[in-house]
Amino acid sequence: MAGSWDGGMKRLVEEAPQDFISWLIQGAQFDSELSPHLQGRNIDADILYRIIIDGSPYLFHLEFQRRSDPDMAKRLWEYNVLATSKFDLSVYSFVIYLKKDGKIAEPPYIRRLHNGREVHRFYFTAIKLWEIPTDTFKGPGLQGLLPLLPLTRDGPSRSVVEEIIDGLCPAGEAPKSELLSLAYGFAALVLNDAADRAWLRRRFSMLEDILEGTWAFQELKQRGLEEGRKQGIEEGIKKGIKEGIKEGIREAYAQEVQRQRKMLITFVRARFPALIELAEERARALSVVEDLQALILNVGLAQSEEEARQHLNVS
């Protein structure tokens, strides 16, 4: 499949391969990523990993599907056979349907001769995200699946987005910035109400929330308390904390803007080097972290140089 759904899903799995494998195959361990290019096919498989189950190697094959495809079961069968032949390992094949849209390919896929004799029977696993209970991805060891919550049964809601943010900004740990970015992208694809979209944009600025659990915030708070003690009055404590927090947030925000600008330029240089000057100009023009993150996501999901240029040219 093509488009933003496909690119976002691939990057999500690449961020947390073990989480996906643990969800789909109990007891399996990620070993290594393999080339998804399979001889005989004009397109590559989405995800192909070598995994270990009870000490033995297998292959983990995963496809993502946004729209109904009458040939999906056949494609999975072909991928499975080609991967088995190429690596001489048995293959677990999965297809994840991201949003309800027409008929879904169901296992098994069967090939028969003219007389009805069965010559191939292929089993795969079809997963419909919109039918998955939202709580499924909230278990231990599945943090990498949290960005998918908006696509699950009860996922398209503000409360679920709040749970994702909480899960990806654990107290005492650095926020999972890449997973947060993907969560924002998936939530934006399913929250269609204008008010929800406006809320989502505001919520993902969230710098104060990120700083709340970091050592920098705690240090600023301590400085404020110490200044207050020196002055010997409660007002000094309040003022020191307030001013320290404000200054820290301003400084952190400016640093984050610079980081997002560099990330945008790096993305463009790697994928569309002809657009680097346009990207640098666009990066200088943007000073809001949220806007830069949205542009990085759009450019990262662009399927062509022209599509990337359109995103960079938007004022």
Domain containing residue 45: CATH number? 3.40.1350
Helix (H, G, I), strand (E, B) or coil at 242: helix
131, 149, 183 - which closes a domain: 131
Question: Is there a single domain that holds both residue 230 and residue 306?
Answer: yes
- pLDDT, position 252: 75
In a domain, 169, yes or no: yes
C-alpha–C-alpha distance, residues 172 and 273, integer Å: 38
In a domain, 209, yes or no: no
Q: Lowest-pLDDT range, 81-90, 111-120, 212-221?
A: 212-221
Question: Is there a single domain that holds both residue 123 and residue 164?
Answer: no
Q: What residues contact 91, with CB distance under 8 A and at least 6 apart? A: 58, 59, 60, 61, 79, 80, 83, 84
Residue 212 has pLDDT above 50, yes or no: no
CA distances (Å), 117 to each of 26, 74, 78, 107, 111, in order? 34, 18, 20, 18, 9
Nearest to 10, CA basis, from 38, 28, 36: 36
| 119-123, 184-188, 211-215, 218-222 — most confident range | 119-123
Cβ distance 71 to 103 under 8 Å? no
Helix (H, G, I), strand (E, B) or coil at 34: coil
pLDDT digits (tens, 9 = 90+) for 105-146: 889 999 999 999 999 999 999 999 999 999 998 888 889 999
70, 96, 131 - which closes a domain: 131
Question: Is there a single domain that holds both residue 53 and residue 141?
Answer: no
Q: Model confidence at 218, in pLDDT bands (50, 70, 90)?
A: very low
Question: Is there a single domain that holds both residue 146 and residue 190?
Answer: yes
Please indicate whether residue 84 or residue 185 has the higher confidence score (pLDDT): 84
Q: Model confidence at 232, in pLDDT bands (50, 70, 90)?
A: low
In a domain, 58, yes or no: yes
Question: Is there a single domain that holds both residue 8 and residue 126?
Answer: yes
Question: Is there a single domain that holds both residue 253 and residue 286?
Answer: yes
Residue 227 has pLDDT above 70, yes or no: no
Question: Is there a single domain that holds both residue 126 and residue 21?
Answer: yes
- pLDDT, position 231: 59
C-alpha–C-alpha distance, residues 76 and 81, integer Å: 9
Q: On the CB side of 18, how many CA atoms lie within 13 Å of its CA? A: 8
| 11-15, 210-214, 230-234 — most confident range | 11-15
- How far, rounded to the nearest angstrom, does the alpha carbon of residue 195 sit from its chain's CA centroid? 23
Cβ distance 166 to 2 under 8 Å? no
Question: Is there a single domain that holds both residue 229 and residue 248?
Answer: yes
- pLDDT, position 239: 64
In a domain, 23, yes or no: yes
In a domain, 254, yes or no: yes
Structural domains counted in the chain: 3
β-sheet with 56-65: strand ranges across:
29-33, 47-53, 56-65, 91-97, 125-128
Nearest to 296, CA basis, from 15, 198, 271, 274: 271
Q: What percent of the chain has pLDDT over 90?
A: 29
Question: Is there a single domain that holds both residue 106 and residue 10?
Answer: yes
The CA-based angle 146-151-156, given to 5 degrees, is 100
C-alpha–C-alpha distance, residues 259 and 125, integer Å: 40
Tell me the residue type at 164: I
pLDDT digits (tens, 9 = 90+) for 283-310: 888 888 888 888 888 888 888 888 888 8
Mean pLDDT of the chain, nearest integer: 81
C-alpha–C-alpha distance, residues 304 and 309, integer Å: 9
Question: Is there a single domain that holds both residue 262 and residue 220?
Answer: yes
C-alpha–C-alpha distance, residues 127 and 256, integer Å: 37
- pLDDT, position 188: 81
116, 131, 146 - which closes a domain: 131
- pLDDT, position 1: 38
- pLDDT, position 207: 39
Residue range(s) defining the domain that contains residue 274: 215-313
Question: Is there a single domain that holds both residue 219 and residue 182?
Answer: no
Question: Is there a single domain that holds both residue 36 and residue 111?
Answer: yes
- pLDDT, position 43: 62
In a domain, 220, yes or no: yes
Q: What is the tally of helices (H) and strands (E) in the chain? A: 12, 7
- pLDDT, position 226: 62
Tokens of 183: 């969560």
- pLDDT, position 2: 42
In a domain, 104, yes or no: yes
Tell me the residue type at 9: M
Tell me the residue type at 291: D
C-alpha–C-alpha distance, residues 20 and 14, integer Å: 10
- Cβ burial of 87 (10 Å; 0-12, 13-18, 19+) is middle
pTM: 0.61
In a domain, 103, yes or no: yes
